[in-house]
Structure 1
């Protein structure tokens, strides 16, 4: 299967403004890239790439005053298979975890493990450790949070999402991540494209998606508490402790986002 991925964002800047962007297909999918989804700007400006502490490819630039267009359009090869389910994946004892996973046990900007630890143990202490426990967490979060774009808030944390019971995909991911970490399971935030391939019409307007990965059985496994069913055509962009590590764009000055379009379409 071939999937066309891309976006177009229009900004208005009252003054020259530095920006950081995390917008390209993740390097782990490099062998699947048929047409690179390279970032382009109009007007053209110098773009400097770099890798962040999590290995994500990032770009930085200074947007000039006025209207700025950011866009990309690429083609990625995909298996066409739903997200894998590995029910036998086991939970590691903390002392047996690889050192590079330990940071994903700790609280972070949007995932307050200190506030949610007691709740997590009350809810999940009796669940079987491993895949079943993470799935139980996803099931709870999926039921507990009511989805709605009107509930989106850039400052909303896992603790707030738990108490408010509403949010968007990143809030589902943050709450599930926090619960996993409370139960001594490393969990990291993921952002990327998620197609509607295989789901009933009508399809919603395109958007970037947030999900998470849990470390079980010696490797990272994907979980999506927002949808809570295996999906087809998930294209990773970046990974981090939570959404604060992988913002699609980070601007360092006033601006207005005029329009925003995302596409993830199967090519016949």
Structure 2
């Protein structure tokens, strides 16, 4: 299966502003590219690429005063298979986890484990370890939060999503990640493209999507509390502790997002 994906973003800056961008696809997916995936700018901007501490392909720029348009458009191969559920994967004792996985047991900016630990243990301590416990958390979060684009809040933490019981895909991910970490299951936040492939078309405008991964059986596995079922055609952009680490743009000065458009479509077979 082939997928065409990309975006057009416009930022308005009242003065030259340094920005960090996490807008490239993840290095693990570059082998699947059928065309170049590069960021283009409508201003004479020098973009300096780097790999961050989580292995994401990032860029540093200084956006000039005024309106700047950032675009990318590419084609990529996808297996066309839905997410594989780790039904037989075991949960590791903490002493057996790799060193670089331990950080994904800790609280973070949007995953406030200290505020949800008591609830998590009272709710999930009787569930079997491993996938059954992850599945119980997915089911709870899927039923607990009502999806509503109008209730998006970039400052809402996992505890806020738990309390408000509403939000968008990032809120589902943050709450599920936090509950997993509370139950000693490493979990990390993911962002990327997820089009309406193999499912009814969503009436809402296309957006980037958030999901997460759990570490079971010696590997990271993709799971999704918002949809709570395997999906087709995910294109990973970045992973991190939470949305802070994978923000599309981190700006060091006042900036307004003036335009936002995302495309993720399956390319029809002739």
Measure, in 2, the Cα distance between the counterparts of 1:115 and 1:204.
Answer: 32
Alignment-derived partner of residue 233 in structure 2: 233
Decide which moves more: 32-41 or 101-110: 32-41
State the secondary structure of the residue aligned to 1:190: strand
> Do structure 1's residue 18 and structure 2's residue 53 form an aligned pair?
no
Q: Is the 8 A contact 2:85 2:223 kept in 1?
A: no
Q: CA deviation at 1:17?
A: 0.8
Q: What SS does the aligned partner of 2:244 have?
A: helix
Looking at structure 2, the residues matched to 259 and 111 of structure 1 have their Cα atoms a distance apart, in angstroms, of 29
The 2-side partners of 1:14 and 1:226 are apart by 37
2: CA distance between counterparts of 1:97 and 1:259?
43
Unmatched runs of 5 consecutive residues or more in structure 2: none
- Could you tell me which residue of structure 2 aligns to residue 246 of structure 1? 246
Contact 1:5–1:37 under 8 Å retained in 2: no
**Partner residue, 2:175:** 175
Matches within 5 A, 1:31-180: 31-180=31-180
Scaled by the length of structure 1, what TM-score is found?
0.98
- The TM-score with structure 2 as length reference comes to 0.97
- The secondary structure found in structure 1 opposite 2:34 is strand
Provide the C-alpha distance between the structure 1 equivalents of 2:66 and 2:112, rounded to a whole number of angstroms.
Answer: 39
How many residue pairs get aligned? The number is 268
Counterparts of 1:131 and 1:171, CA distance in 2: 21
Q: Deviations over 1:115-170 (max 9, x none)?
A: 11010011111111111111110110000001111111111100111011111101
The runs of at least 4 consecutive aligned structure 1 residues that moved more than 6 Å come to none
Quote the offset at 1:202 in angstroms. Answer: 5.1
- Would the aligned equivalents of 2:193 and 2:237 in 1 still touch at CA under 8 Å? yes
The question of whether the paired residues in 1 share the 8 Å contact of 2:11 and 2:255 is answered with yes
CA contact (8 A) 1:102 1:186 kept: yes
5+ unaligned residues in a row in structure 1: which ranges? none
Q: Distance in 2 between matches of 1:175 and 1:201?
A: 26
SS of residue in 2 equivalent to 1:213: strand
